[in-house]
Chain A
Amino acid sequence: MSADVMIRPRTRAVPAGARRRRRRDPGRVLRLYIPLGMYLLFTLVPFYWMLVFALRPAGSNAPVPWPITFEHFETVWNDIGYAVFFKNSVIVGVWSLLCTTVIAVMGGYALARYRFRGRNLFMVVLLCTQFIPGAMMLIPLFSIFKTLGLINSLGSLVIADTVFNLPLSIILMSGFISAVPYTVEEAAMVDGCTRLRGFLAIVLPQLRPGLIAVGSFAFIHTWNNFLFALMFVSKQDSFTIPVGLSYTIGEYSADFGALAAGGVVAALPVVCVFAVIQRYLVHGISAGAVKG
């Protein structure tokens, strides 16, 4: 997949203790490398299989994509309409990313820096929303968007995805904000900054990992959301990538090249984003879990 192109292995100095332990321990191969290798196979073979189908000519049965052809990509991009689906998915993804991040910074700041009446209730409500299944909300949300005249509009997807991204994003963001010492902000205010300017000038730059983690998390979730897009949008020129892909699965079930090429188009942005943010994500979850 593109992941191995996108990321360089970060060569990190192995602590001396670990190196010594490795030499003393021949069981390491059995314990570590064999299971890891097997799991890597399980992860990567499906991706590889998709790439093979996407890149080799129709009718070929070769286990390697050779000679390489881009005919399937031309089919899905131009004929099936993935160019439009892709554009729609980017629009929804970016808007939802922006809305989620901005609102999550505000909410996360309130949770991290203020003790106010109703704070605990707010936290409990945020946690409870994690138990609300999106599939269960299809019917009432459809009715609301119909009233608002947003059916068949990408706006309905931006709203629905933002709402479902928000709770976890706020919890994560408050963890990141708590990790920035309050004293630097106070110092800025003593120097005559307003709270807002102090935040923008001092805290925001230090929040970069948090912003990246929360923003990418929101983008990936929105990019992947299928049910909302299926339910709220029925015009083909407003389809997003997952809906387009589901129709490709249904209608082009004999054309595996097109299916695989569509899959590559769907996977490329999120896998690239994920490869970049993976380490922020683990850090963010620990920060959120510890401080939240």
Chain B
Amino acid sequence: MTTMRRRAVPYLLISPTVVLIAAFLVYPIGSVAYYSLQHRNLTRPWADGFAGLDNFRQMLFEDEVFWHSLGFTAKWVAVEIALQLILGLALALIVNESFIGRGLARSLVFSPWAVSGVLTTGIWILLYTPSTGVLRFLGRPEAAVLGNPDTVFPAVVVAELWRGVPFFAILLLAGLQGIPGELYEAAAVDGAGRVRRFLHVTLPHLRDAIVLATLLRGVWEFNNVDLLYTLTGGGPAQVTTTLPLYVAQRAVDSKDFGYGSALTMAGFVILLFCSILYLRLSRFGEER
């Protein structure tokens, strides 16, 4: 093989990936930017045309749902991530211990990870519907939790926790397995108790894994439309509408591509800003 040809090998190997990402991820992002400046609605093609900043003006100054969805998105992501992190870390620590039947226990507690958002909805509808659910065993026979604006938030949070905690537990378990056992032995010799070993050995070693897991999962929960779309439809009265859910409703239900693209651009900017801010604040990957 000549040197020229040998140099080309890695590029040939990555070329399918590059082509696919360019055609179906990079180009679409550019086209969203273009659409956001257009009036474009598949149900009203006669009104299509250049819109300038019209979509953005409407979004920022006239659309109450947009502003409300931003607030709910922040609340949704923050609550989910905090609870999933705490429960996921606890679960990872538990299944990292050695006990009989550990493999089975891991498979069982991790299994909701493999389940789709729509299926989660199906299952939790069975649990939440007053006539069929388990709440009647808890003494709340008539509580329609999904139709009540006061109870709908905890209800969707619990359903998403059921599916979301295993992801954290899997990532953190992978991180736990990378901590050398000698460190714990050394700490024990130095007289550190269980709590101090956790605080001074486990947590510092897991820091990067925690930052990465919370960030990936934060983006994912931001993006998580399936569950809310099918479980609450963003309701009652739009109180559980996140920004991406609002985009999906605009795209799927009203086919309003121009305005939906403007919302998408807003979502990109917010996500990018928050991710960079988070990585900066958490000083990811820096030596301590």
Provide the residues of chain A in CB contact with B9, threshold 8 Å: 110, 114, 195
Query: B interface, how many residues as a size bin?
Result: 35 or more
Within the assembled complex, what's the spacing in Å between the Cα atoms of A271 and B248? 28
- Is A259 in contact with B268, judged by CB distance below 8 angstroms? no
Provide the residues of chain A in CB contact with B252, threshold 8 Å: 138, 227, 230-231
Within the assembled complex, what's the spacing in Å between the Cα atoms of A119 and B14? 10
- Among B61-69, B94-102, B149-157, the stretch that binds chain A is B94-102
Provide the residues of chain A in CB contact with B189, threshold 8 Å: none
Within the assembled complex, what's the spacing in Å between the Cα atoms of A40 and B13? 44
Number of chain A residues close to chain B: CB under 8 A: 99
B147 at the interface (CB under 8 A from A): no
Provide the residues of chain B in CB contact with A4, threshold 8 Å: 104, 108
Would you give the shortest CB distance from A232 to chain B, in whole angstroms?
10
Within the assembled complex, what's the spacing in Å between the Cα atoms of A8 and B222? 37
The secondary-structure label for the interface of chain B is: helix
Chain A, 198-256, CB within 8 A of any chain B CB:
220, 223-227, 230-231, 242, 245-246, 248-249, 253, 256
Provide the residues of chain A in CB contact with B223, threshold 8 Å: 133-136
B115 at the interface (CB under 8 A from A): yes
Closest chain B residue, CB of each to CB of A279: B103
Chain A, 248-276, CB within 8 A of any chain B CB:
248-249, 253, 256, 259-260, 262-263, 266-267, 270-271, 273-275
- Is A249 in contact with B118, judged by CB distance below 8 angstroms? yes
Chain B, 75-106, CB within 8 A of any chain A CB:
87, 90-91, 94-95, 97-106
Within the assembled complex, what's the spacing in Å between the Cα atoms of A193 and B170? 39
Chain B, 17-41, CB within 8 A of any chain A CB:
17-18, 20-21, 23-25, 27-29, 31-32, 35
Question: Can you sample 5 A-B contacts with CB below 8 Å?
Answer: A9-B100, A137-B25, A242-B226, A256-B129, A275-B107
9 smallest beta-carbon distances between A and B, as pairs: A140-B28, A224-B116, A133-B223, A274-B114, A110-B13, A135-B244, A114-B10, A9-B104, A285-B174
